[in-house]
Amino acid sequence: MAASGKVAAFRLPPLPTVKEIIKLFNLRAQKQLSQNFLLDLRLTDKIARQAGKLKDAHVCEVGPGPGGITRSILNADVAQLLLVEKDTRFIPGLQMLSEAAPGKVHIVHGDILTYKMERAFPKHLQKKWEDDPPNVHIIGNLPFSVSTPLIIRWLENVSNRDGPFVYGRTQMTLTFQKEVAERLTATTGSKQRSRLSIMAQYLCTVQNRFTIPGRAFVPKPEVDVSVVHFTPLVQPKIQQPFKLVEKVVKSVFQFRRKYCWRGVEILFPEAERLEKSEQMLMLADVDPTLRPAQLSILHFKNLCNAYRKMCDEDTSLFSYNYREELKQKKRTRKKGHLEQSAREDQL
């Protein structure tokens, strides 16, 4: 009988189940690290599928833990899988997976917040930003404690086109608490609209793919978990430096239940606050009585452009910090009270 000529897809050989690995190495999820294990391989397969076509892809998995999603990624027949794991307890179980997939797995014992992913994969994978996304993916069941700072870090990398995005518009498929996922994808005017909504959506197409009930995890978290997919945009919707956008958006949402002018005000020193905030809102053509959640990406684009113009005209403006001014006022008041008390004691 003639051979079909088809190359068989890669499949992991028989291995202990994830549950057995946890027992074998006496692994316990640590609450202080907000660790939760996903043991159902049907769900880990579904997470891997959300990343798109992974055959021959180069993948970085963040915090693989006992290796549930790792197995699903390997079974998708990737070319290379980089595992970045901070917790040493998981390394032996991951090494078992590495031995079962010779040449495919590279394990890094380290913190993803400091790991230099721009050196992780071959340079030939790099694509121009305007091209289709490269065959490079980031996948991870993120601990709740690091998910928000990590996605902000990566969004800044998207803006600067560095870190994991030196390869081009690298796609990310990540888990978040359901509430955080809803903020990331919230539309203008919705209750969940927040700083995260703007920061993610001005740089990426963000899709909330599906929700996993908390009972699917061990130990069971108090919340459900959502899988969110990010694809960087060819052109960001706000063409200003990340730190400037972040400062404007953060200030506006500082008083999310008040009118937006209240947050715009704190971008400026007290002595010129009223005049400058009115000027900025006028330049941006933004209604000062809109609530922060009612502002669209276009509104924020106009606000950022107006603030940039004002910063260019006054080079000391961007370094102004509202909280530092408040602290200085408190210190001055405290010093005044102490001096007053000293004078009264002398009488």
Query: DSSP strand E in the chain: where?
Result: 37-38, 58-62, 80-85, 105-109, 136-140, 171-177, 204-212, 217-218, 225-232
Per the prediction, the chain carries an average pLDDT of 90
Helix (H, G, I), strand (E, B) or coil at 85: strand
Q: Is the pLDDT of residue 27 over 90?
A: no
What is the distance between the alpha carbons of residues 148 and 154, in angstroms, rounded to a whole number?
10
Length reported for the chain: 347
Average pLDDT value for residue range 150-166 = 97
* Residue 200 tokens, joined: 């993610």
* Predicted TM-score (pTM) above 0.85: yes
Average pLDDT value for residue range 134-158 = 95
Average pLDDT value for residue range 216-228 = 89
Average pLDDT value for residue range 15-37 = 67
* Residue 130 tokens, joined: 């305007």
Q: Is the pLDDT of residue 172 over 60?
A: yes
* Residue 267 tokens, joined: 């971008």
**Residues forming beta bridges with residue 217, ordered by sequence position:** 38
For residue 265, which amino acid is it? E
Q: What pLDDT is attached to residue 26?
A: 64
Using an 8 Å Cβ cutoff, are 49 and 57 in contact? no
Average pLDDT value for residue range 152-170 = 98
* Residue 310 tokens, joined: 């004002």
Cα distance between the two ends of the chain: 112
Q: What pLDDT is attached to residue 304?
A: 98
Q: What pLDDT is attached to residue 2?
A: 44
Q: What pLDDT is attached to residue 1?
A: 42
Average pLDDT value for residue range 302-307 = 98
What is the distance between the alpha carbons of residues 176 and 320, in angstroms, rounded to a whole number?
33
For residue 318, which amino acid is it? F
pLDDT higher at 5 or 94: 94
> DSSP label at 193?
-
